[in-house]
Amino acid sequence: MRVGEKMYSTSNPMPTHQLSDYNRGIMGSHNDSDARNLRVYQTWKGSNIFCLGGRLVFGPDVRSLFLTIFLIMIPVILFCAFVSQRLINDFQHQLGYYVVAICVVLTAHVIILLFLTSARDPGIIPRNLHPPEDEGSSISVDWSGSQVAGPSLPPTKDVIVNGMVVKVKYCQTCLLYRPPRCSHCSICNNCVERFDHHCPWVGQCIGKRNYRFFFMFVSSTTMLCLYILAFCWVNIRKIMDTYHCNMWTAFLKSPVSGILILYTFICAWFVGGLTAFHLYLIFTNQTTYENFRYRYDGKMNPYNLGCIHNVLQVFFSKIPKSKNKFRAKVRVNSSSSYASSMPLGDSLSPEVPKRSFDIEVGKRQAVADEDFEAIQSQIDSVGGLERCGTQPRHTNWDHKANWEITPDIHVLAAEFGMESGLADRQKISGDH
């Protein structure tokens, strides 16, 4: 079932004011007057943050993006403001201007790659509204008089990848069997295809649709750090040659160069090491998640196609389109306590009753055990009178309140397939 679809019941709806608080949470009347049109991103159940009407998709920790931009821009600004002036004067044939221009272009390239990594769908798998039926079995997601809390689906399944058996897991949150290499990100609350990791520096998951840009961002940042580091050293050497002084005196004459050398050296170790690690992952066709969790041997990795094909797959394969249409319109029933949406394209036919049940992440299974036991005990007590043929003992509590079957019980009994039994027992209790 696609996101936004509903399951409908043919029962006659009870008035909303007669329902219990719990049933108001899982039942809603689909009236045209109550429905309102929203976009998919406005009813999104993940933790993502959307901008520009759902065109940009960020992670919940998008604020860290500003820190990353700050850490990139500050050394570039210091380099252009304090170091480049001496380089422009010392280099002939306007080579100093080219040095500054290349730095600015490389910085713009890094920032663009950062936004391409952070502001796009990383490969989110659309979640289901109800669990899938187990293949080869007769498992149903609906209750029919059973006290079982829900369908019993196997936690894993075996699939064949390049001739090798790979286990895929069932996601309890997204209600689906994850495709191979897919994992659920606890930060974004989404299942992400070819999940690599969640990067706090870009504020987004790294997956199938943005891994290429992430690697280019990390490697380009490494190049930018080495570029500034190199020309700061050149500036120090020019000062030493001009003033015939040692290195420490040169640092005193240009302290910004010394600060930038230290800063870019530390950053180059960090992003440079990350670049080298991801080069290893690309050559062996692994993800960060797989490397730390499974530690594939070279002969056991079912995704390894060889070094050349692995590189081609990452950098030259077509990026798949997003499986989510965040700007698509959905119809939301505003009377329900939580969003239950249906695509406008899947409009209701006249034969479908207008009473609907929103089934999401076990909402259908959410009838509390104590509610069911209370109903069952009340039905059993009425049934006991039927079998014994005796009058109840006179007590201080109200007789009518004890034996009257409320509309709430009628509604829940209809869900459990006990409506006919309740009608007979209500008649007997009325005779008593």
pLDDT at 159: 92
pLDDT at 359: 34
The tens digit of pLDDT for each residue in 173-218 reads: 999 999 999 999 999 999 999 999 999 999 999 999 999 999 999 9
Residues 58-75: what's their mean pLDDT? 96
User: In this predicted model, which residue has the larger pLDDT, 265 or 409?
Assistant: 265
Neighbours of 359 (CB within 10 A): 23
Residues 235-256: what's their mean pLDDT? 93
225 is catalytic: no
pLDDT tier at 89, thresholds 50, 70, 90? confident
pLDDT at 150: 46
Asked whether 33 and 157 are in contact (CB, 8 A), the reply is no
The tens digit of pLDDT for each residue in 344-396 reads: 434 333 333 333 333 333 333 433 444 545 555 555 554 444 444 444 444 34
**pLDDT of residue 91 exceeding 50:** yes
- Under the phi-then-psi rule, with left for phi > 0, alpha for psi from -120 to 50, and beta for the rest, what region is 207? beta
- Compute the distance between CA of residue 260 and CA of residue 166 in angstroms, rounded to an integer: 48
**pLDDT of residue 73 exceeding 90:** yes
**pLDDT of residue 325 exceeding 90:** yes
pLDDT at 36: 78
- Compute the distance between CA of residue 425 and CA of residue 421 in angstroms, rounded to an integer: 6
Residue 277's contacts (CB-CB under 8 Å, 6 or more residues apart) are none
Residues 112-132: what's their mean pLDDT? 94
- Compute the distance between CA of residue 289 and CA of residue 176 in angstroms, rounded to an integer: 20
Lowest mean pLDDT among 59-63, 160-164, 362-366, 370-374: 362-366
pLDDT tier at 414, thresholds 50, 70, 90? low
Computed from CA positions of residues 225, 227, 230, 231, in that sequence, does the dihedral angle turn out positive or negative?
A: negative
pLDDT at 426: 52
Lowest mean pLDDT among 26-40, 308-322, 359-373, 407-421: 359-373
pLDDT at 424: 53
Going by C-alpha positions, the residue among 270, 330, 326 that lies closest to residue 119 is: 326
SS3 51: strand
**pLDDT of residue 28 exceeding 80:** no
User: In this predicted model, which residue has the larger pLDDT, 410 or 198?
Assistant: 198
Looking up tokens 């009058």, which residue turns up?
391
pLDDT at 296: 73
pLDDT at 379: 54
pLDDT tier at 336, thresholds 50, 70, 90? very low
- Compute the distance between CA of residue 371 and CA of residue 22 in angstroms, rounded to an integer: 10
User: Which amino acid, residue 146?
Assistant: S
Averaged pLDDT of the chain = 76
**pLDDT of residue 21 exceeding 70:** no
pLDDT tier at 295, thresholds 50, 70, 90? confident
**pLDDT of residue 67 exceeding 70:** yes
pLDDT at 374: 53
Catalytic residue among 199, 205, 225, 232: 199
The H or E element that residue 168 is part of is: strand 164-171
pLDDT tier at 40, thresholds 50, 70, 90? very high
**pLDDT of residue 277 exceeding 80:** yes
pLDDT-above-70 percentage for the chain:
64
pLDDT at 56: 96
Please give the model's pTM, rounded to 2 decimal places.
0.68
